[in-house]
Amino acid sequence: MVFKNINNQIIIATIIALLFLNQQNCLAQFSDEQQNQINELKAIIDNKLSNDTAKAKAYVKLSTFFGTSNIDSMYTLSVSAQQIAEAALKTARTNDITNSLKISLASALSNIGYYFKNLGKFPLALENYQKSIKILEEINYQKGLGVPYNNIGLLYYLQGNIPLAIEYYHKSLKIRETINDKSGIAAVFNNLGSLYKRQNNIPLAIDFYTKCLRICEEIGDKRGLAYSYNNMGMLHFIQNDFPTAINYHERSLKLKEEIGDRRGISESYHNIAKTYQSMNSISTNKVDSLSDLAMNYFLKCLIINEEINDRIGMATTLNSIGQLYLSKGLYKKAKASGDNALTIAKEVGFVMGIQQAASLLYEIALQQKKWKEALEMRNLELQMKDSIDSEEAMNVAISLQAKYEYEKQQAIDNAEFEKLIVIEQEEKQRQKIITYTTGGGLALVVLFLVFVFNRLQVTRKQKIIIEEKEKETQKQKEIIEEKHKEITDSINYAERIQRSFLATTEMLDKYLGVTSSSPKHGGVSSNEHNYFVFFRPKDVVSGDFYWASELNNGHFAYCCADSTGHGVPGAIMSILNISSLEKAIEIEVSPDQILNKTRKIIIERLKKDGSLKGGKDGMDCSLLVLDKERKKLSFALANSPVFIVRSVASSSLKQEGISRSDAQELLEFKADKMPVGKHEKDTEPFNLHTIQLQLGDTIYTLTDGFSDQFGGAKNKKYMIKNVKEMFLQIAHLPMSEQKQKLSEAFDQWKGSNEQIDDVCIIGVRI
């Protein structure tokens, strides 16, 4: 759209004039070639004959020149590009013009996201990055997706979300490797190196930094080389090789000054200052000149941070200045710097900045003997540190890296597994047809026998006919007996197949273990288990099942589940559910994510049942995960609760002066009101529950078969409240006795009544 209103033209011209006046100092830092490019772009913008497509593209290209020297100018230019592109898209007539405008719009939004990231406004940054990605995905412009993916990865890294940071870095890397964007590949390698360095995984950091340096040297990328030298300087700094570190940082600084990278210059000042500070701190003879030199570089760094409004850089530099004041015993100045750093870091959600400021203020409070403030700062420091440097975060980072490296092989394995699933489903369908056919045949035989009996009552005169019919009846009886035997053999064989899918005793013994004594019975034999499984199918085969497996992170998962139906249909469904669980744990390790993935697999498989909307079968279950030390339990629940019986003598009762060693309390965890399968809520994620376990805790998970059983004097349901009361009564007993008590209680309640459903209860003692 060409601007037709003269007032709009005057306003735009004024903005551009003010903008370029504000950028004169920055332009002085550009090379002659860069300034020539800037002048050409200005000419396109000022030319009244330029179309909106060309202007939008020129604004975007011009904004990139100021990304490292004046982000306010970059933001203003990017907003102009956004406005022009959005207006022009309303009247665009061809796909080529539309796509070109959308590429410019996506680039402008990505630059705006970069601006908000530097201000520490992470939600706004993420919003603009995601808008950029959505536009590029709409037009399938893969080349442009690498930038916002990489920037989102950096955004999550700054917030301490290591798994998401690695996920988006790898998304960016895949695209850039596909299009052979070497400069982009080097940028991702640099970010991954910084992430692993922050986690003290020096071998991986060196590997990625070295890859980055080689690519930058190959393509002659000055900016990439500058940051590679900076990274090598940081690695030598970690190894206390300070002279070499200074040499690399000065080489990096020189290149950044050549390309006018003010943000990079600020970073080099900071790193040089930190090196001089560390040289002085480990020296046996303190040298004031080194300390003064460090302060000089810190202040130069802070000035640039403030000029380019780099809030993250300001927080980092203020922390460093505070540490320098602290080393000199200037507690008042140190605290002022630390307070300012903490305020800025909290405002922008900069996790590492919060951690550094809390550490500084903790040390100052200790020196000033302000114990309460010291405790508060120490707790804050540990809280931030745990989100980044915890063993779990490191393990996640390493596992995600391994996942990326072997993704192609996994894709092949998954394809083979899908083929096996298809074959298995076809075999199940054939068995289903055989079962129905046999049942129909038996029904016809029964009807025929009734007819024969009635004919015998009507007339005795047809003796010959009756005798012949008797012979036929005998033959049919033999056929029925043979069919009955075949069906029984088939069901027994099916039971053996189903049992092969259940958790084995060897696996349960391995992960849940055995004990030589019970908490309440000192004389228990050495083979007493720390668990029991009370499994009572209604028929030979069962819809209920219990399953267990080791997860990719080494934790142990087990599941108590109730599939749709019972008998043969329920058993078939249980095998489908177990197969889906085993498929899900190839990717997921968190119980809520495992159930989310399992639900998707089940829904996809049941879409093939021939109905319009797909089958609504699935399962109710509780999926529990014990960590390696068996100190933490996490679980997700689909229409199936979890109960924990815990001794309260060592907790709440102890605080109230009650010393009964056998006092128990029952913790109940409510389930999500939805199954693992197709349901009106099947787009909602399952909730994750986590609890710290105590020695002696007994964990119970069960299906509804026990509580729904009819019996007793009034022939009513047993009810879940009675099940909970029984758990409290038996929790102190050895696990084998608990199982026996449950079996006796069930049989006594059921009496002569028919068992109405499958029953499964799992108990685990910590």
Q: Tell me, what's the pLDDT at 565?
A: 83
Q: Both 490 and 575 in a single domain? A: no
Mean pLDDT lowest among 15-29, 121-135, 215-229, 448-462: 15-29
**Angle value at C-alpha 451, between 449 and 455, nearest 5 degrees:** 115
Q: What is the DSSP letter of 688?
A: P
Lookup: tokens for 626: 């014990």
CATH number of the domain that residue 704 is part of: 3.60.40.10
**Phi (first) and psi of residue 618, to 5 degrees:** 170, -130
Q: How confident is the model at residue 70 (pLDDT cuts 50, 70, 90)?
A: confident
Rank 63-67, 159-163, 582-586 by mean pLDDT and report only the highest. 582-586
CB-based burial label for 57 (10 Å; 0-12, 13-18, 19+): buried
Q: Tell me, what's the pLDDT at 14?
A: 33
pLDDT of 82 over the 60 cut = yes
Q: How far is CA 142 from the centre of its chain?
A: 25
Q: Is residue 114 part of a domain?
A: yes
Cα–Cα dist 532/514, whole Å? 11
pLDDT of 405 over the 60 cut = no
What is the model's pTM?
0.41
SS3 per-residue string spanning 105-130: HHHHHHHHHHHHHHHCCHHHHHHHHH
Q: Both 588 and 537 in a single domain? A: yes
Q: Both 515 and 491 in a single domain? A: no
Q: Tell me, what's the pLDDT at 252?
A: 92
Q: Both 436 and 559 in a single domain? A: no
Task: Confirm if 199 and 394 have CB atoms less than 8 A apart.
Answer: yes
Q: Both 452 and 601 in a single domain? A: no
**In terms of DSSP H, where are the helices of 139-241?**
142-158, 162-178, 182-198, 202-219, 222-238
Lookup: tokens for 183: 């400069």
More confident site: 217 or 759: 759
Cα–Cα dist 186/189, whole Å? 5
Cα–Cα dist 214/207, whole Å? 11
Range of the domain at 632: 505-765
Q: How confident is the model at residue 322 (pLDDT cuts 50, 70, 90)?
A: very high
Q: Which of 611, 532, 619 is nearest to 575 (CA)?
A: 619
pLDDT of 434 over the 80 cut = no
Task: Confirm if 636 and 686 have CB atoms less than 8 A apart.
Answer: yes
> What percentage of the chain has pLDDT greater than the value 70?
82
Q: Both 48 and 122 in a single domain? A: yes
Mean pLDDT of the chain: 83
Q: Tell me, what's the pLDDT at 18?
A: 35
Task: Confirm if 293 and 328 have CB atoms less than 8 A apart.
Answer: no
Q: Tell me, what's the pLDDT at 26?
A: 44
Task: Confirm if 190 and 179 have CB atoms less than 8 A apart.
Answer: no
Q: Both 524 and 441 in a single domain? A: no
Q: Both 521 and 642 in a single domain? A: yes
Q: In the predicted model, what is the mean pLDDT of residues 142-166? A: 87
Cα–Cα dist 647/652, whole Å? 9
* Residue entry with tokens 């309390």: 665
Q: Both 685 and 536 in a single domain? A: yes
Q: In the predicted model, what is the mean pLDDT of residues 72-90? A: 92
Q: How confident is the model at residue 335 (pLDDT cuts 50, 70, 90)?
A: very high
Residues 6+ apart with CB under 8 A from 717: 707, 708, 709, 710
Q: Both 491 and 607 in a single domain? A: no
Number of domains in the chain: 3
pLDDT of 456 over the 80 cut = no
Which among 122, 137, 152 is the end of a domain? 137
**Phi (first) and psi of residue 509, to 5 degrees:** -60, -40
Mean pLDDT lowest among 17-21, 186-190, 203-207, 482-486: 17-21
Lookup: tokens for 58: 């020129």
Mean pLDDT lowest among 448-452, 575-579, 638-642: 448-452
pLDDT of 397 over the 70 cut = no
Give SS3 for 498. Answer: helix
Q: Both 457 and 530 in a single domain? A: no
> What percentage of the chain has pLDDT greater than the value 90?
47
Q: Tell me, what's the pLDDT at 9?
A: 41
CB-based burial label for 399 (10 Å; 0-12, 13-18, 19+): middle
Q: Is residue 226 part of a domain?
A: no
Mean pLDDT lowest among 181-190, 415-424, 530-539: 415-424
